[in-house]
């Protein structure tokens, strides 16, 4: 049997139709995650006592409050982006107790899942992941793929 010690995250595509995605945090990282997720769903709720001004124009449910475990109700997956390591760990623990998959931004060791760098076009999604170890490189590779598609060098259709 082969050892797979370097592979921690299984690349899968989750069905999020009619599922609530929850983002906890209202800063730049949370805004960035929200904008990426918006390509896939409108069913996003964001919880934070304060929101970056970029959230103003977004049509999602925004709950202006401090975190409490009650906000996890009905969440399918959550992105934890508070910037407070202790609070992030507490939210992750609360999610685990409720069997909710959680991504703790900037801390792959605490993540149940990670989000890859994505190029989305029509019904194709191309995802590049580094197991959370080199996010910038994943983005660079995704950008190279996107450029090849945009220039017509890499064709999605015949």
Closest CA to 30 of 91, 98, 120, 119: 91
Between 21 and 153, the more confident residue is 21
pTM of the model: 0.86
Which pLDDT belongs to residue 19?
Answer: 94
Which pLDDT belongs to residue 12?
Answer: 83
pLDDT (tens digit per residue) in 34-65: 998 988 898 999 999 999 999 998 889 999 99
Closest CA to 24 of 97, 113, 103: 103
Q: Where are the beta strands (DSSP E) in the chain?
A: 20-24, 44-48, 61-64, 75-80, 101-104, 117-121, 124-128
Residue 6 has pLDDT above 70, yes or no: no
């Amino acid at each position: 049997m082969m050892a797979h010690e370097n592979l921690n995250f299984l690349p899968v595509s989750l069905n999020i139709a009619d599922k609530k995605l929850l983002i906890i945090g209202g800063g730049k990282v949370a805004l960035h995650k929200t904008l990426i997720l918006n390509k896939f769903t409108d069913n996003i709720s964001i919880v934070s006592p304060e929101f970056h001004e970029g959230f103003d124009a977004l049509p999602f449910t925004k709950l202006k409050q401090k975190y409490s475990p009650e906000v996890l109700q009905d969440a399918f997956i959550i992105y934890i982006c508070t910037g407070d390591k202790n609070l992030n760990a507490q939210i992750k623990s609360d999610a685990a107790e409720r069997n909710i998959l959680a991504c703790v931004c900037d801390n792959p060791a605490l993540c149940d899942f990670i989000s890859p760098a994505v190029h989305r076009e029509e019904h194709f999604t191309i995802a590049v992941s580094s197991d959370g170890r080199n996010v910038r490189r994943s983005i660079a590779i995704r950008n190279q793929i996107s450029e090849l598609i945009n220039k017509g060098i890499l064709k999605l259709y015949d």
